[in-house]
Amino acid sequence: MKGLLKSTLTATIRGQSLTAAFLMCWAACIPPLMSPVELKVTTENLPNSRIRLELEVPAERCKASYEEALSRLSRSIKLPGFRKGKVPKAVILQQIGTAQIKATALETLIDVVWREAIDQESLEPLCAPELREGFEALLGKFQTTESLSLQLETDIAPIPKLKKSKDLEAEFEPFTFEPSQIDELIDQSRKQLATLVPVENRSADLGDIAVISFIGTFSDDGSEIDGGSSESMDVELEQGQMIPGFIEGILGMSLNDKKTITCTFPEDYSKEDARGREANFNVKLIDLKSRELPKLDDSFAQQASDKKTMKELREELEKRLKSDAERKSLNNRQEALINVLVEQLVVDLPKTLIDQEAQNLVEQTANKFAQQGMDVKSMFTPKLVKSLLESSREEAKQNLLRKLALSALAKEQDIAIDDKIIEVKFKEVSQELSGEKNIDKEKLRNIIAEDLLQEKLIQWLTDNNSLREKPINKDKSEHTKSSKIKATKSKLEKEESTKNDQKT
């Protein structure tokens, strides 16, 4: 029994309700304790879906708990000269001491009155309770002749409510197919299949691959930039590949040239300590290469895909890009509807749910790495896991808000999925996954049920709210198209110039 309270009060109980866990502990470890004497319970709602229970335990129950603890010890303890279960209570008190017996009695008493209190108040705790004043302080107050006051706190399931769910207005960003996207994909394939040719008789230009060494330091204090140095790194000389100013600084350099390039890290840079700071990079151009792109003919189509001709390749890419645009537009429409619904949500998020969702996100990340054959155990060190849990909290909150908003809508509008429909879909998906091993059927069924319910909720939102496309910035769009045309023209001119040089 010793240590039961500490384990039940601090451990996260998985796979069962806290009430069920205490019932199991009680049935397994704690015999009938005492005749029920009225337990006075006062509750106080706290922020973040947390509740405090103040319990007033009568003196009779304190005494009964103490007597029962002493009786259990007398039945289980082994002492020289006495048979098991026959040790007199006076001897036990002399050998063990009153303090130890009181601690055991208090552990049991807290377990029992906590179970009674949550049953009496019809509560469903999300986590084990916390003693507000701590166990040692409470033990100091525990007397067998006096009533005992204690305060326990726990997180409870939040009650989400929607201020409004109909006649909302949502904006989404549409995705449209542009024929130029086909050329972009083909251009990417040409780069991947290109032959790298050393450059010796000219300086670095856009489209080249520069091999450089560099050391980066911050301008304000001269300190070296973490990860801002390399003895040899391949850099594609394309706009946007590095922080602003870095690629531009390399352009025009010749082999073995050395140069100091001054740049400023963007305000939204991934590493917080570098945001907005000016930096100096001492760069040396070690090597320079250019791409010799394959011709755009049927041979290229066969090399880049399973198609026999360029016409077939272009048709396949167009079909895929149109389908992708439709899928992204649909996804954006759904996201926009859920986002406006979340704006109408009134709810307090308990820390326990945020912690659990963050844990789920980290586990999903670990599973993805494991599926790629990576050694997750050595990669996910305690320090990394702690960092990932902390950085995942915001995403966890957003996930919970979405789930709770949809849950509130389902309850408000009495939207549900018939079990027969779930079963039909479950059989279809199970058939598709028949070749897979270690499928958790219950988990699969739950996922299918959630997906079907979300589809139905999204349809309800679509029918009862308005959606409109975000206006497209035509000037920006035209500028982007113009830039792509100029870049393509420049590349073609560069290729033609290279071919002429080779002929000469």
Q: Which two tokens stand for residue 201?
A: 């008789």
Q: Is the pLDDT of residue 482 over 50?
A: no
**Mean pLDDT, the chain, whole residue set:** 85
Residue at token pair 């779930």: 422
Q: Sorting pLDDT into bands at 50, 70 and 90, what band is 37? A: low
Mean pLDDT of 4-9: 38
pLDDT per residue over 44-94, tens digit each?
999 999 999 999 999 999 999 999 988 887 777 777 767 666 677 777 777
Which DSSP letter does residue 499 get?
Answer: H
* 284-308 pLDDT, tens digit each: 999 999 999 999 999 999 999 999 9
**CB 150, CB 55: distance < 8 Å:** yes
CB 209 within 8 A of CB 195: no
Burial class (CB in 10 A: 0-12, 13-18, 19+), 411: middle
Class of domain 195-292: alpha beta
Report DSSP state, residue 414: T
User: Is the pTM for the entire model greater than 0.95?
Assistant: no
> Which has more confidence, 427 or 33?
427
Residues 241, 233 contacting (CB under 8 angstroms): no
pLDDT over threshold 90, residue 272:
no
**Residue 357 Rama label (left phi>0; alpha psi -120 to 50; beta):** alpha
Q: Above 90 in pLDDT, residue 165? A: yes
Give yes or no for a contact between 340 and 406, defined as CB atoms under 8 angstroms apart. Answer: no
Return d(Cα 439, Cα 167) in angstroms, integer.
Answer: 42
The pLDDT of residue 24 is 36
What is each CA distance from 390 to 122, 355, 385, 397, 404, in whole angstroms? 33, 9, 9, 12, 22
Residues 84/78, Cβ–Cβ less than 8 Å: yes
pLDDT at 85: 63
Confidence tier at 374 by pLDDT (50, 70, 90): confident
DSSP letter (8 states) at residue 14: -
pLDDT at 106 over 90: yes
Q: What is the share, in percent, of the chain residues with pLDDT greater than 90?
A: 69
Whole-number pLDDT of residue 36? 53
Residue 105 has pLDDT above 80, yes or no: yes
**Beta strands 466-469 and 169-172, pairing class:** parallel
42 forms beta bridges with 54
* 87 close to 71: Cβ distance less than 8 angstroms: no
pLDDT band at 485, cuts 50/70/90? very low
User: Residue 50 — φ and ψ, nearest 5°?
Assistant: -120, 150
Q: Please report, as a single letter, which amino acid is at residue 336.
A: A
The answer to whether 211 touches 199, Cβ cutoff 8 Å, is no
Domain-by-domain residue ranges, the chain?
4-157, 195-292
Is the separation of the CB atoms in 362 and 189 below 8 Å?
Answer: no
Same fold, 4-157 and 195-292: no
pLDDT beyond 80 at 28: no
Report the pLDDT value the prediction gives residue 20, as an integer from 0 to 100: 35
| CATH dotted code for 4-157 | 3.30.70.1050
pLDDT band (50, 70, 90) for residue 438: confident
Q: Are strands 224-236 and 50-57 parallel, antiparallel or unpaired?
A: unpaired
